[in-house]
Amino acid sequence: MKYSRWTTYVSALLAIVWAMPTGSLAAESPQLTEEGAIKSVLARFYDGWNAHDVDKMVSVYADDVDHINTHARWNKGKPAIREDLRNFHSGPGKNSHKTYTVEKVRFIKPDVAVVQVRSLSTVGNIGTYVMTKQSGEWLVVSFTNVEYALLSKQQ
């Protein structure tokens, strides 16, 4: 008899949970929504990289962005980065293609995030982005990246 009551109780509970609207079980937190927005901005950058569309790439940057590249060159402001990217993509990077993974998003404040991204092309690259939400849009205000050698398949 106890088993029958327990089965009835569990069955009723499962029926209630199953009948609940999915939104109440899986409602997105504001942080998850913001993380998705940040990932969308970074996707725009890498889409621009792979299309060699410099304007698309720099659209993710604040006007006063700072970028220190893998060669320790410090670009200050969107115009300097635009010029650097144009030179790279019209020259040595004209065939460059990157895949990327957002490894971590850490919110320092609701409108400030630090993001680590691993990208791969002919070399490995780990970038640290500082992003702020300005006028409802996430923008990169600082970006530094380091390069690392990829292991060959024979090693």
Q: Find the DSSP H helices in the chain.
A: 2-19, 22-25, 30-51, 54-58, 78-90
Going from the C-alpha of 39 to that of each of 32, 33, 70, 97, the distances in angstroms are 10, 10, 22, 18
Torsion angles phi and psi, residue 23, rounded to 5: -60, -35
Question: pLDDT: is 42 or 22 the higher one?
Answer: 42
Q: Is the pLDDT of residue 40 over 90?
A: yes
Token pair belonging to 9: 């109780």
pLDDT at 17: 44
The lowest-confidence range among 21-25, 60-64, 77-81, 86-90 is 21-25
pLDDT of residue 123: 82
Q: Check: pTM over 0.85? Answer yes or no.
A: no
All domains of the chain in start order, with CATH:
29-148 (3.10.450.50)
Q: How far apart are CA 141 and CA 63, in angstroms?
A: 8
